[in-house]
Structure 1
């Protein structure tokens, strides 16, 4: 049985004991030393933001769980950015947004993506079917095997979350 890391083992000790390992672990996942350094830093910032470091049986499992979540978010951001840039590539150059506008749109896309990720699966699916595919609530209800009234509830929930993001409360 692995002993507990003492509760007096603070984030600084966790950092000094495991930063090198975490950086290498992330480097193998990303194939990029700079990106690995950034994500390792972000991982330890999450640890610090969480307050006191709890006693840990498996500190590397704890760190890799946090880092893996950040890694998934990183890949999601890259996918969104690539899709946005691909859409811009087929657009008329005269209509192309400025670099500042592109950054704002990408930030908004990241917020919407984070919002969608937090929604229950059926709420998210109903929202996307309505907003992206343009389906009516009746068609969505059939597709999701729920009542049209339930689709309206799903949409209200999704729209509330959108409004909260728009007002900076999400």
Structure 2
């Protein structure tokens, strides 16, 4: 139990010493105090959830900036997904209205898929999308990209392996 309290105290010290710096750093990148406040809080929440020791950080500002930057990238990726979803929805002939909860869940799923796809190499990602979204056969993909069917199969195996692994992350 002593270790638990020590960790909490270490995070509290980190918070007291560096929260205002982190908030300013985020505000310079975002231009909005409210969003900077939210992301600064999310940074410390992530630290608490990770349970990684923070008592002997050699560069606490770099540590905080790295976590906050990751959250910024996730935020921008999510906004891009939301914009793409809105654009795709606008092109549909019949507008389907989703509840706020359904929209949230859909955007969450799309954001996770986007993050998953970003973890693939560009070629594997393209092959995966041609197969899964465009419905092309491996032979058609191979012909279009100037690859062998075997290369397409290996790329799809990498993509499916990444998808499967993401279930356990």
Per-residue deviation, 1:85: 1.2
Q: The residue matched to 2:56 in structure 1 has which SS?
A: coil
Q: The residue matched to 2:158 in structure 1 has which SS?
A: helix
2:61 corresponds to 1:39? no
Distance 2:95 2:12 in 1: 52
What does residue range 127-142 of structure 1 map to in structure 2 within 5 Å?
127-141=128-142
Per-residue deviation, 1:163: 5.5
Q: Report the more deviating stretch, 80-89 or 136-145.
A: 136-145
Per-residue deviation, 1:83: 1.0
Task: Check 1:130–1:30 CA distance in 2 against 1; reply closer, same or farther (3 A cut).
Answer: same
> Comparing both chains, which one has the higher relative contact order based on Cα–Cα distances under 8 Å and sequence gaps of 6 or more?
1
What whole-Å deviation, never above 9, does each CA across 1:83-120 have from its counterpart, x for those lacking one? 11122223345533333332222121012112212334
Q: The residue matched to 2:57 in structure 1 has which SS?
A: coil
Task: Check 1:23–1:134 CA distance in 2 against 1; reply closer, same or farther (3 A cut).
Answer: same
Q: The residue matched to 1:10 in structure 2 has which SS?
A: helix
2:57 corresponds to 1:56? yes
Report if aligned partners of 1:119, 1:158 keep a CA contact under 8 Å in 2.
yes
Gaps of 5+ in 2: 1-8
Q: Report the more deviating stretch, 116-125 or 19-28.
A: 116-125
Report if aligned partners of 2:89, 2:95 keep a CA contact under 8 Å in 1.
no
Q: Report the more deviating stretch, 138-147 or 153-162.
A: 138-147
Gaps of 5+ in 1: 1-8
Distance 2:47 2:150 in 1: 43
What whole-Å deviation, never above 9, does each CA across 1:117-157 have from its counterpart, x for those lacking one? 23344332321232344544245446666532132132233
2:98 corresponds to 1:97? yes
Residue matched to 2:6 = none
Q: Report the more deviating stretch, 140-149 or 46-55.
A: 140-149
Residue matched to 1:3 = none
Per the normalisation by structure 1, the TM-score is 0.78
Distance 1:56 1:68 in 2: 18
Aligned length in residues: 161
What does residue range 6-155 of structure 1 map to in structure 2 within 5 Å?
10-51=10-51, 52-53=53-54, 55-141=56-142, 146-155=147-156
